[in-house]
Amino acid sequence: MTDSEPTTPHQSHPRPVSDTPSETATHSTPAPAYVWRGAFANPEVNVLHAQGFDHPPLDIDWHTQVHRHSLGWVCARRGEELVGFVNVAWDGGVHAFVLDTVVAEGARRTEVGTRLVAAAVDGARAAGCEWLHVDFDDHLRAFYFDGCGFTPTNAGLIAL
């Protein structure tokens, strides 16, 4: 970041990050670009979310939701196609929360998810957050702990 760039949490920072050369050599498609607070359309996030969380596409107004309640989000695009998305909610202070990490079926197991989370870490850190939290289903332990660098911690949950 240069001295002339604003540092507010809601600033849009294009943060293109390419996949490793060895990955791009094995794929005929271009490497994704990862953009903090990137542009998206509700229907494309709804379709991606439905794929990732195994439900029919819903009509959720993601644009309004993330602009009202989130520190930021990361969009991963391969060309014009949205291949990944993660929402980063926050408490308005030093705690941010990873929510709704999702990767398109055709882009899974190509490091898109880990790079989405890495861009979320960068965005939260740049906004002055000191902690990034995540909760997840058991089958995602290796992804978040080994792949993304989170450490286990005690936490509590009440179903509402």
- Average pLDDT of the segment spanning 6-30: 43
Nearest CA to 34 out of 17, 50, 47, 22 is that of 17
Nearest CA to 60 out of 75, 71, 45, 74 is that of 45
Angle between helices 42-53 and 62-69 (to 10 degrees): 90
Q: Is the pLDDT of residue 3 over 60?
A: no
Coil vs helix vs strand at 49: helix
Coil vs helix vs strand at 33: strand
**Cβ atoms 83, 95 nearer than 8 A:** no
- Average pLDDT of the segment spanning 118-128: 98
Mean pLDDT for the chain overall? 86
In tens, the pLDDT along 34-75 reads: 999 999 999 999 999 999 999 999 999 999 999 999 999 999
Tell whether pTM > 0.85. Answer: no
